[in-house]
Chains A and B, each alone.
Chain A
Amino acid sequence: MKYLHLIWAALFRRKTRTILTLVSIIAAFLLFGLLDAVRVSFAEAGQSANGAERLQTGSKLSFIQTLPMALQARMAAIDGVKDVAFVNWFGGAYQDPHNQVFTFAVSENYLDVYPEVSVDPGQRKAYSDDLNGILAGEVLVKKYGWKIGDKIPLQSQIFPNKEGSKNWSFTLRGIMKSKDDKAFQSQMIVLHWKNFDETTPYNRGQVGWYVSRVKDVNDADRVAKAIDALSANSDHETKTQTEQAATRNWIKQLADIGLIVTSIMGAVFFTLILLTGNTMMQAVRERTSELAVLKTIGFSNGSVLGMVLAESVMLLLLGGLIGLALVSIINASLPAMSGGMITNAAVGWKSWGLGIVLALAIGIVIGALPASRAMRLNIVDALAGR
Chain B
Amino acid sequence: MSTLVEIRNVSKTYERGKQKVEVLHHIDLNIAQGDFLALMGPSGSGKTTLLNLIGGLDSPTQGQISVGGTRIDNLNQGALAKWRASNVGFIFQFYNLLPMLSAQKNVELPLLLTKLGAAQRKKNAAIALQLVGLAERAGHKPTELSGGQQQRVAIARAIVSDPTLLVCDEPTGDLDRQSAEDVLGLLQTLNRQHGKTIVMVTHDPKAAEYATHTLHLDKGALVEAAAHA
Q: Which A residues have a C-beta under 8 Å from some C-beta of B?
A: 2-3, 5-6, 9-10, 12-13, 289-290, 292-302, 379-380, 383-384
Contacts and interface: CB of A to CB of B under 8 A. Distances in A.
Contacts, number: 62
Given A3-B112, A9-B101, A384-B48, A299 B96 contact: no
Contact of A9 (B52, B82, B98): B98
Interface in B1-60: 48, 52, 57-58
Given A10-B100, A298-B85, A383-B96, 5 more contacts: A2-B118, A3-B112, A9-B101, A13-B100, A380-B57
Task: Assign chain B's interface to a size class.
Answer: 20 to 34
Nearest to A9: B100
A290 B112 CA distance: 16
B84 A298 contact: yes
Q: Is the interface of B mostly helix, strand, loop or mixed?
A: helix
13 contacts: A2-B118, A3-B112, A5-B105, A9-B100, A13-B100, A289-B96, A297-B113, A297-B157, A298-B113, A299-B81, A300-B78, A302-B78, A379-B57
A301 B77 contact: yes
A13 B142 CA distance: 13
Contacts of B84: 296-298
B213 to A, nearest CB: 25
A296 B98 contact: no
Given A2-B112, A298-B110, A12 B100 contact: yes
Contacts of B96: 289-290, 292-293, 383
Interface of B: 48, 52, 57-58, 77-78, 81-86, 90, 92, 96, 98-101, 105, 109-110, 112-113, 118, 157
Nearest to B98: A290
Contacts of B85: 297-298
A95 to B, nearest CB: 59
Residue from the set B78, B81, B85 with the largest chain A CB neighbour count within 10 Å: B81
A281 B58 CA distance: 26
A298 B82 contact: yes
Residue from the set A3, A296, A302, A383 with the largest chain B CB neighbour count within 10 Å: A296
A299 B82 CA distance: 8
Contacts of B83: 298
Nearest to A298: B85
Contact of B81 (A10, A293, A300, A383): A300
